[in-house]
Copies of this chain bind each other. A is one copy, B any other.
Amino acid sequence: MVVKIPYYIIVLGTAGSGKTTLTSMLMNYLDSHQMDVAAVNLDPAVEELPYNPDVDIREWVDAREVMVKRGLGPNGALIASVDMLALNIGELKDEVDSLKSNYIIIDTPGQLEIFAFRDSGPVVLRTIIGDSKAVSLFLIDGLYALKPSNLFSAMLLSASTFFRIKYPQINVFTKIDLLSEAEYSGLLSMIENPEELASRVVEDADINLMWSSEEVYGLAEKLYSFESVPVSNNSGQGFDDLYALIQRVLAGGEDYLTEEPNPLL
């Protein structure tokens, strides 16, 4: 007997890294390859979404309402509304459990920090996902990552997030359609080669670095334990590779265990 449990895909990243558009594109991708897919929106402050969430935290918590009802400023309202996610987790989990999809994509609040580095984010994820398998996609803006010190910073941030969210994690470089060919190959050479990144970080003249290039290389090498994939949320470029990586993490490279053979891979 094959038990049909969902796989969870958690979409993480700083404000503007492309979380909602990646969620939308990944839904289309999986759907167009005959996979059942559903999306959960956990951002109580999002104003518009490019996809229709199957479960939406705004049914219970809305940041604008929190602001008005509690007399908070925008910052206080944002923090309070994300902290409040955990209060409605029972009902939210019931709705998610009723979805019966192969893949459930969890889109997280606009700002990484109030979700990943405060109590409620990890608790909410753990409750929703339970014993199912999950993978985190850590989104990094490809334009931002062109600068070596930014890329290094983003990879450290990804590792920092991993130690809070604690699911296997993939670094996803977004917006590659906005890069020139030279920029794209420069980015690729850094994300594929820790030595290249380390030497470019050390060359970066405006850093008064306390580390030697060997030490930066040592750090970089560790950070390369995370798999990386460049994608475009507009053109869909890279989504075959992204799906293959997700699949490798979730099912150890095996096809998804459904009654039907998986049309992909």
User: Interface-forming stretch among A84-92, A218-226, A230-238?
Assistant: A218-226
Please report the C-alpha to C-alpha distance between residue A100 and residue B77 in the assembled complex, in whole angstroms.
Answer: 37
Please report the C-alpha to C-alpha distance between residue A150 and residue B117 in the assembled complex, in whole angstroms.
Answer: 8
Q: Which residue of B lies closest to A126 (CB)?
A: B206
Within A61-107, the residues touching B (CB, 8 Å) are 63-64, 67, 72-79
List the B side residues contacting A79 at CB < 8 Å: 15-16, 110
Q: Which residue of B lies closest to A144 (CB)?
A: B117
User: Interface-forming stretch among A49-57, A155-163, A179-187, A253-261?
Assistant: A155-163
Chain B nearest CB, measured from A199 CB (Å): 15
Please report the C-alpha to C-alpha distance between residue A161 and residue B210 in the assembled complex, in whole angstroms.
Answer: 14
B interface footprint on A193-237 (CB within 8 Å = 1, 0 otherwise): 000000001000011101100010011001001000000000000
- Size of the A side of the interface (Cβ < 8 Å), in residues, is 51
Please report the C-alpha to C-alpha distance between residue A63 and residue B75 in the assembled complex, in whole angstroms.
Answer: 8
The one of B47, B74, B160, B215 in contact with A222, judged by C-beta atoms closer than 8 angstroms, is: B215
Please report the C-alpha to C-alpha distance between residue A138 and residue B201 in the assembled complex, in whole angstroms.
Answer: 21
A222 and B225 contacting across the interface, CB-CB below 8 Å: no
Q: List 30 A-B residue pairs with CB atoms under 8 Å apart, sorted by A's residue number.
A: A15-B79, A15-B118, A16-B79, A16-B118, A45-B75, A46-B73, A47-B73, A63-B73, A64-B73, A74-B75, A74-B78, A75-B110, A75-B111, A111-B114, A113-B113, A117-B154, A149-B164, A150-B164, A153-B161, A153-B163, A153-B164, A154-B160, A156-B159, A157-B157, A157-B160, A210-B225, A215-B225, A218-B218, A219-B219, A219-B222
A residues with a Cβ closer than 8 A to B are 14-16, 45-47, 63-64, 67, 72-79, 110-114, 117-118, 149-150, 152-154, 156-157, 159-164, 166-168, 201, 206-208, 210-211, 215, 218-219, 222, 225
